[in-house]
Amino acid sequence: MRNTTLFIAMSLDGYIADSMGGVDWLQGQSSEEETSDSYSRFVEGIDTILMGWNTYRQIVTELSPEAWVYEDFTTYVFTHNGHASTEKIRFTHSNPVHLTEALKKEPGKGIWICGGANLVQQLVNADAIDRYHITVIPTLLGSGVRLFKGGTREIPLRLLQVQSYNGMTDLIYTKR
């Protein structure tokens, strides 16, 4: 069975975007310090990405408007907006939990839960995430889009790995 991983960054106070939805604060404490390439290692083990509409829209309008950065993967975008799917980008209004459960049973590599907060919380509440890879950014935002909000259950985790670089800390947990 395929694994699902939430691979995401958040501020020290638990936000994945500022109050305007921006993510320009997603950086270490210095541009001169060494960084980790945990992203490249992570994507070697996935072939499917799940994301919400706001995350998709931010990627194609702000972060990478010239080219789709996840061309090597099949991406499912959860939305109620009517968009035509392509071979690599599939727009769906399916229940995220049901689709995730179905995808986990198909052959393939891992599934990346990319964001946003609404999608993440639905999958957390259904206990549908197998691994949590969270990079803590050395910034206090004070407000914004909270990563974990409205949880309905306790999910005990086991720490697998901690790595610090450039003021950032990668925390990798699996379910107990």
Residue 30: closest CA among 135, 166, 165: 166
Residue 53, Cβ neighbours under 10 Å: how many?
A: 17
pLDDT value at residue 48: 98
pLDDT value at residue 9: 96
Structure tokens at 77: 């975008």
Structure tokens at 148: 């974990």
pLDDT value at residue 7: 98
pLDDT value at residue 81: 85
pLDDT value at residue 23: 93
How does DSSP assign 12-78, residue by residue?
A: TTSEEE-TTS--TT-S-S-TTS----HHHHHHTTEEEEEEEHHHHHHIIIII-SSS-TTTTSEEEEE
Residue 163, Cβ neighbours under 10 Å: how many?
A: 12
pLDDT value at residue 88: 94
pLDDT value at residue 26: 92
In which residue are the tokens 């541009």 written? 31
Whole-angstrom Cα distance, residue 137 to residue 14? 9
* Residue 62 identity (one-letter amino acid): E
pTM of the full structure: 0.93
pLDDT value at residue 155: 94
CA dihedral 34, 38, 41, 46 (to 10 degrees): -150
* Residue 176 identity (one-letter amino acid): R
Per-residue confidence in pLDDT tens, the chain, 176 aa: 999 999 999 999 999 999 999 999 999 888 777 777 788 999 999 999 999 999 999 999 999 999 999 999 999 999 988 788 999 999 999 999 999 999 999 999 999 999 999 999 999 999 999 999 999 999 999 999 999 998 888 999 999 999 999 999 999 999 99
